[in-house]
């Protein structure tokens, strides 16, 4: 990477709330990447990853301007009012120009309450691997012509014509620090993020299923190499190419609270954070509706709300599918008591339950049918609450000379993970109760 930036900033004038500050400038970047691979990978000798050699790069030119305008300060019903904004134009040698911007504000009607809001247009540009890298793998896929599941070669292909992903973002929130409850701070924020032209690809199974259903001018069948006809069709390979096809829409709330107080010579601290994901909608760009064969569900379509989906990896009809780890509710909270030289902390971690995988159906779900290739025996995961206890004591604390003893008990109540353990291990504790003790020192 080569970078050459130029930035100027300063204060242009005085406003009732303070100095009107601006910044502007530009930047030039050149990014290049190259990769080599072994002979086995080049011959597709491995099951799951056969990277191919590649080389590529691109140039970026940017100009930007930012401003902060303090409108009011220390006025009746306007303790603080600030407006800020920014705009940036970026020109990629691979995909052309794109403009991003942001406008926001902070308003404190009185010292106890501060409100904030931001509206922005954001982008994420494709990286060199997305633009140029190719990888081959073997995947367990169901041949929709024969109904047989077998290993099929999948070529994961880049696209040098990818454009930046574009997101429209709203955030609104506030912080409450009531003077009548000293030491308390509470914040609530709402977010709404809508990504269009997300860099994604149709899954191998989706490509095969849509090719099977295609009539007229082919699109998906252009990515499938096959021989034979009807039930005798043999799929040799398929190509999975990155495209600006997907959409992602997510909305939710973030909560946080802290309370500190002294009890005699001791200090008590309470903290809590929680997140509620209302929507996490993935649109694969196919526009496909739920698909049935002889009344049996085959696919839930191209638009799936994955909020509350807490699985990881599932296997249905021999096919491996990936889910998200996005519970509708997650929360952490802690109580800390400190009385020199001792400090004790109890922390709780809550993971809300939900569906194992939003793309699958299980007993109790709409369309459930044991004969369906997307059916699963149990599509529900229970919630979990973990408690962790820790304590520490400062044996020596004299300038740079410090000696501290600590002791931790994680998963205090020895909670086992919910079903299914192997697929959801990233979010849950599989070890059970365990202990840690040690010394920290400096001199």
Give dist(CA 86, CA 63) in Å, integer. 11
pLDDT at 334: 98
- Report yes or no: 408 and 393 within 8 Å, Cβ to Cβ: no
pLDDT (0 to 100) of residue 341:
93
Say yes or no to pLDDT of 314 above 60. Answer: no
Is residue 143 pLDDT above 60, yes or no? yes
Burial of 76 (0-12, 13-18, 19+ CB in 10 A): exposed
Q: How many CA atoms lie within 13 A of 209 on its CB side?
A: 22
Question: What pLDDT shows up at residue 316?
Answer: 46
Q: Do the beta carbons of residue 322 and residue 338 sit within 8 Å?
A: no
Mean pLDDT of 404-431: 82
- pLDDT range class, residue 426, cuts 50, 70, 90: low
Instruction: Output the pTM of the full model.
Output: 0.85
* Cα distances (angstroms) measured from residue 311 to each of 247, 331, 378, 417: 21, 18, 11, 12
Rounded to whole angstroms, the Cα distance separating 26 from 5 reads 6
CA distances from residue 383 to 209, 302, 363, 386 in whole angstroms, order as listed: 34, 28, 18, 10
pLDDT-based confidence at 321, cuts 50/70/90?
low
* 304 vs 288: CA distance, rounded Å: 11
Q: How far apart are the first and last CA of the chain?
A: 41
Predicted pLDDT at 211: 92
Task: Please name which of 133, 131, 121 lies closest in space to residue 41, comparing C-alpha atoms.
Answer: 133
Compute the mean pLDDT over every residue in the chain, rounded to the nearest whole number. 91
Supply the pLDDT for residue 319: 46
- What does the pLDDT look like over 344-391, one tens digit per residue? 999 999 999 888 888 889 998 999 999 998 888 888 889 999 999 999
As separate numbers, helices (DSSP H) first and strands (DSSP E) second, the chain gives 3, 29
Banded model confidence at residue 248, pLDDT cuts 50, 70, 90: very high
Q: What is the DSSP string of 191-247?
A: EEEEEEEEEE---HHHHHHHHHH--SS-SGGGGEEEES-GGG-EEEEEEEE-EEEEE
SS3 annotation, the chain:
CEEEEEEEEEEEEEECCEEEEEEEEEEEEEEEEEECCCHHHHCCCCCCCEECCEEEEEEEEEEEEEEEEEEEEEECCEEEEEEEEEEEEEEECCCEEEEEEEEEEEEEEECCEEEEEEEEEEEECCCHHHHHCCEEEEEEEECCCCCCEEEEEEEEECCCCCCCEEEEEEEEEEEECCCCCCCEEEEEEEEEEEEEEEEECCCHHHHHHHHHHCCCCCCHHHHEEEECCHHHCEEEEEEEECEEEEEEEEEEEEEEEEEEEEECCEEEEEEEEEEEEEEEEEECCCCCCCEEECCEEEECCCEEECCCEECCEEEECCEEEECCEECCEEEEEEEEEEECCEEEEEEEEEECCEECCCCCECCCCCCCCCCCCCECCCCEECCEEEEEEEEEEEEEEECCEEEEEEEEEECCCCCCCCCCCCCCCCCCCCCCCEEEEEEEEEC
The 10s digit of each residue's pLDDT in 55-101 is 999 999 999 999 999 999 999 999 999 999 999 999 999 999 999 99
pLDDT of residue 326: 87
Please compute the mean of the pLDDT values over residues 421-427 and round it to a whole number.
59
Tens digit of each residue's pLDDT (9 = 90 or more) over 181-212:
999 999 999 999 999 999 988 888 889 988 99
Higher pLDDT, 401 or 254: 254
**Residue 81 CB: number of other CB atoms within 10 A?**
20
- Are residues 432 and 409 in contact, defined by beta-carbon separation less than 8 angstroms? no
How confident is the model at residue 425, as a pLDDT?
Answer: 52
135 SS3 class: strand
Read off the pLDDT band of 318 (50, 70, 90).
Answer: very low
Print burial letters for 379-401: b (CB count within 10 Å at least 16), e (below 16).
Answer: bbbeebebbbebbbeeeeeeeee
The CA distance from 386 to 419, in Å, is 16
Q: How far apart are CA 29 and CA 4, in angstroms?
A: 6
Alpha helices in 84-216 (DSSP H): 128-132, 204-213
């Amino acid at each position: 990477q080569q970078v050459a930036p130029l930035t100027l900033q300063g204060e242009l004038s005085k406003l009732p709330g303070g100095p009107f500050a601006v910044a502007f400038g530009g930047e030039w970047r050149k990014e290049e990447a190259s990769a080599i691979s072994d002979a086995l990978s080049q011959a597709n000798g491995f099951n799951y990853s056969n990277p191919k050699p590649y080389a590529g790069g691109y140039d970026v030119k940017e100009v930007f301007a930012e401003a902060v305008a303090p409108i009011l300060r220390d006025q009746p019903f306007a303790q603080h009012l600030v407006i800020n904004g920014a705009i940036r134009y970026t020109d990629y040698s691979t995909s052309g120009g794109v403009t991003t911007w942001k406008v926001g504000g902070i308003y404190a009607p009185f010292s106890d309450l501060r409100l904030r809001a931001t509206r922005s247009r954001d982008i994420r540009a494709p990286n060199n691997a997305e633009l140029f890298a190719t990888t081959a793998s073997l995947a367990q896929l169901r041949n929709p012509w024969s109904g047989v599941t077998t290993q099929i070669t999948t070529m994961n292909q880049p696209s040098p014509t990818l454009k930046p992903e574009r997101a429209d973002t709203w955030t609104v929130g506030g912080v409450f620090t009531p003077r009548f409850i000293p030491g308390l701070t509470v914040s609530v924020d709402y977010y709404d993020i809508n990504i269009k032209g997300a860099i994604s690809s149709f899954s191998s199974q989706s490509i095969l299923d849509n090719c099977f259903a295609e009539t007229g001018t082919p699109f998906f069948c252009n990515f499938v190499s096959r021989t034979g006809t009807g039930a005798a069709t043999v799929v040799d390979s398929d190509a999975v190419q990155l495209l600006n096809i997907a959409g992602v829409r997510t909305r939710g709330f973030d909560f946080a609270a802290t309370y500190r107080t002294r009890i005699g010579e001791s200090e008590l601290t309470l903290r809590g954070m929680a997140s509620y994901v209302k929507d996490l909608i993935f649109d694969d760009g196919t526009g496909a509706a739920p698909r049935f064969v002889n009344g049996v569900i085959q696919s839930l379509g191209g638009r799936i709300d994955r909020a509350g989906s807490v699985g990881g990896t599932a296997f249905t009809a021999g096919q491996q599918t990936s889910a998200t780890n996005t519970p509708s509710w997650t929360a952490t909270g802690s109580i800390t008591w400190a009385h020199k030289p001792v400090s004790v902390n109890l922390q709780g971690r809550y993971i809300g339950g939900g569906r194992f995988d939003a793309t699958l159906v299980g007993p109790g779900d709409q369309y459930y049918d044991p004969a369906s290739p997307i059916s699963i025996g149990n599509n529900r995961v229970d919630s979990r609450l973990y408690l962790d206890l820790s304590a520490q004591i400062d044996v020596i604390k004299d300038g740079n000379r410090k000696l501290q003893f600590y002791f931790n008990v994680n998963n205090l109540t020895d909670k086992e993970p919910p079903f299914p353990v192997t697929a959801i291990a990233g979010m849950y504790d599989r070890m059970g109760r365990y202990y840690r003790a040690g010394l920290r020192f400096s001199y």
